[in-house]
Amino acid sequence: MILDAETVEDGARLDCDLCIVGGGAAGIAIALQFLRSPLRIVLLESGHADFDPKTQALYAGEVADPALHAPADAYRQRRWGGTTTLWGGRCMPLDPIDFEARGWMPHSGWPIAAEELARWYPAANALCEAGAFDYSARSAVPGGMRPMIAGFEPVNFSADGIERFSTPTNFAARYGHRLAASPAVRVLLGANCTAIETNAGGSRAELLRVRTLSGRGFTVHPAQVAVALGGLETPRLLLASGIGNAHDQVGRYYMCHIAGTSGRLRLAVPGAMVHPGYERAEDGSYIRRRLHLSAEAQAREEVGNAVLRLHFPRIPDPGHGSGVLSGLYLARHLLPYEYRKRLENEGPGGAHHLLAHLRNLVTDPGSALSFATSMLFQRKLAARKFPSVIVRPPGGVYSLDFHGEQEPNPDSRITLIGSQDPLGMPRLRVDWRHTEGDLRTAQVTFRLLAEDLARWGRGWLDYDTAELTRDILRDGAYGGHHIGTARMGHSPRSSVVDAQGRVHGMQNLSLAGSAVFPTSGQANPTLTLVALALRLAARIEREALAPLAVSLSAETTLPPRPAPLPAPAA
């Protein structure tokens, strides 16, 4: 059932077995595991199906360095479905090395092994609608995928790994009807959780305070709580509630990815031997190869995980001569802020460049028109959208799109500030930092590719370290990947949740989402956070049903069920 929180009576008390806080990918993935459960589930979601500026404004906060991090209310969506209403859908699992405590990377190491998460990835892949759980170019399509660069066999990189793309699935639009039809799950939209209160000893979450934008308030009294508010809002709620922070760990280790497009790659092979774009797997999902820095190279060079993709030249620079890229640049105002920002940051602007872009369009109208048509049909109108723009650069000079891991850094953090949102919650302050190690990962990745190409003798990578650093730092934190702010670990002195996702020292409060990742790896986070959410749901269900099973085996009557939710007010 899906209800508006405005229909719950002011001052009401709702009892349930599990309260899920947040209706994004993580929260919805958990709720879907209880559709036919005997347990009673309440899902509190701040937003509604449509974007609402007043609700979104609850995300506003302060940013320490606006040049390095987007405003706190950008790159995340406070609405039913969360940021899957906006995401790009790139899916890939973490790599085995990401789970290891790496001697060269302080604070690395997960308390669970890669094999543990591997059990949940296939179901996560299915929920994300990213096709089969197969991330090898050899087996993802019958006969294998085309090579990215035929004949190039790098020593330091694997060219076999692929990324898969979700439709990209909006979890609310795709799965909302199942939740609406479930007798076990009640979704309350417009329900903002403003605080979690514990028992006197702080070992149990006793009640959740909920408020609506119209001023209505009620409480939820759950047996179990799963907080799934995303990587920025989860630490905000914990800090505002004074939970899990005995050792000043909540909000620290904030990571995004470091990313940027740089360098000039020239290949002395016919264009037909280079395949920078997508193929489709048998199930229709888009798949694409990339160059992945090998685990051996990471360990030898003592750097983080990273990937490179073949990319077209910088769009804002009309020197590329491409009508398609110039058309994209001129139409950038039509893109959502989150996708436009990179283009605008890249500069250069001005009348001179405008004219040069217009010249490109006029001299190359055919490709611009066929591109616009294919984008209309393959991206705007298609159920499974073409993931991104792919353009073969005129002149065959590619740039490289770098996406790399950030080191966990306790000084990169989320804190609360004095000002409050209209619901009385303290707003957050984002102080995202990068390290020398992060930049070194990018520099080493480019150097090793240049060496591999030189060894092959049919390609050259021209890049400059200072330019690379500028290109990486131009956009600062890679938007939308909010990682590590309530990390998983063995000890409350160095983490917030245990290996089961439970807040240290608390019996019934668990966290879902990329906040709990101890390290970021090179992979985009959503597939992994969905896999972790499924694991969390299974553990909560097991624990919640255990008393019922014991009662049944003892042939006693079932324990009393929590009181049902009150009927919606007229």
Among 5, 16, 19, 24, binds ligand FAD (CB under 6 A): 24
User: What distance in Å separates the CA atoms of residue 158 and residue 549, rounded to the nearest whole number?
Assistant: 49
DSSP state of 380: I
- Nearer to ligand FAD among residue 234 and residue 249 (C-beta): 234
Q: Smallest distance from the beta carbon of 464 to ligand FAD, in angstroms?
A: 29
User: What distance in Å separates the CA atoms of residue 225 and residue 247, rounded to the nearest whole number?
Assistant: 22
Tell whether residue 95 is a contact of ligand FAD (CB under 6 A): no
Show the site string, 236-265: x = touches ligand FAD by CB under 6 A, - = not.
------------------------------
Q: In the range 497-556, which residues lie near ligand FAD by CB under 6 A?
A: 513-514, 524-526, 529
- Can you tell me which residue has the tokens 């058309």? 327
φ, ψ (nearest 5 deg) of residue 377: -80, -40
Tell whether residue 87 is a contact of ligand FAD (CB under 6 A): yes
Contacts of residues 111-115 at CB distance under 8 Å and 24 or more positions apart, as own/partner, are 111/488, 111/489, 111/490, 111/495, 111/498, 111/499, 111/518, 112/488, 112/499
DSSP state of 319: G
- Nearer to ligand FAD among residue 326 and residue 412 (C-beta): 412
Q: Are 50 and 80 a contacting pair, CB within 8 Å?
A: no
Tell whether residue 158 is a contact of ligand FAD (CB under 6 A): no
Among 235, 479, 484, 518, binds ligand FAD (CB under 6 A): 479
Among 19, 220, 228, 281, binds ligand FAD (CB under 6 A): 228
Q: Smallest distance from the beta carbon of 423 to ligand FAD, in angstroms?
A: 8
- Which residues partner with 426 through β-bridges? 420
Largest CA distance in the chain: 83
Contacting range for ligand FAD; rule: CB under 6 A; set: 18-26, 101-109, 439-447, 487-495 = 18-26
Q: Smallest distance from the beta carbon of 72 to ligand FAD, in angstroms?
A: 12
- Nearer to ligand FAD among residue 393 and residue 480 (C-beta): 480
Q: Smallest distance from the beta carbon of 104 to ligand FAD, in angstroms?
A: 26
φ, ψ (nearest 5 deg) of residue 414: -110, 130
Distance in Å from the first CA to the final CA of the chain: 17
Tell whether residue 5 is a contact of ligand FAD (CB under 6 A): no
- Nearer to ligand FAD among residue 31 and residue 265 (C-beta): 31
Among 33, 37, 46, 261, binds ligand FAD (CB under 6 A): 46
Q: Smallest distance from the beta carbon of 27 to ligand FAD, in angstroms?
A: 6
Contacting range for ligand FAD; rule: CB under 6 A; set: 84-92, 177-185, 269-277, 279-287 = 84-92
| CA geometry: angle 122, 126, 132, nearest 5 deg | 65
Contacting range for ligand FAD; rule: CB under 6 A; set: 83-91, 341-349, 377-385, 404-412 = 83-91
- Nearer to ligand FAD among residue 277 and residue 323 (C-beta): 277
Among 33, 84, 245, 388, binds ligand FAD (CB under 6 A): 84
CA distances from 313 to 175, 283, 316, 401, 465 (A): 39, 32, 9, 10, 18
User: What distance in Å separates the CA atoms of residue 16 and residue 223, rounded to the nearest whole number?
Assistant: 7
User: What distance in Å separates the CA atoms of residue 492 and residue 498, rounded to the nearest whole number?
Assistant: 8
| CA geometry: angle 377, 378, 382, nearest 5 deg | 80
Q: Smallest distance from the beta carbon of 41 to ligand FAD, in angstroms?
A: 15
Tell whether residue 488 is a contact of ligand FAD (CB under 6 A): no
Among 154, 313, 404, 480, binds ligand FAD (CB under 6 A): 480
User: What distance in Å separates the CA atoms of residue 357 and residue 318, rounded to the nearest whole number?
Assistant: 5
- Nearer to ligand FAD among residue 29 and residue 274 (C-beta): 29
380 by Cβ neighbours in 10 Å (0-12 / 13-18 / 19+) ranks as exposed
Among 145, 193, 308, 488, binds ligand FAD (CB under 6 A): 193
- Which residues partner with 15 through β-bridges? 221
Q: How many residues of this chain bind ligand FAD (CB under 6 A)?
A: 39
Alpha carbon 243 to its chain's center: 24
Q: Smallest distance from the beta carbon of 275 to ligand FAD, in angstroms?
A: 21
CA distances from 401 to 26, 127, 259, 302, 311 (A): 28, 28, 7, 21, 6
Tell whether residue 413 is a contact of ligand FAD (CB under 6 A): no
Query: Which structure tokens are listed for 493?
Result: 């002195």
Query: Which structure tokens are listed for 85?
Result: 């209403």
Which residues of this chain interact with ligand FAD, rule CB under 6 A? 21-27, 44-47, 75-76, 78-79, 82-84, 86-90, 192-193, 228-230, 233, 338, 479-481, 513-514, 524-526, 529
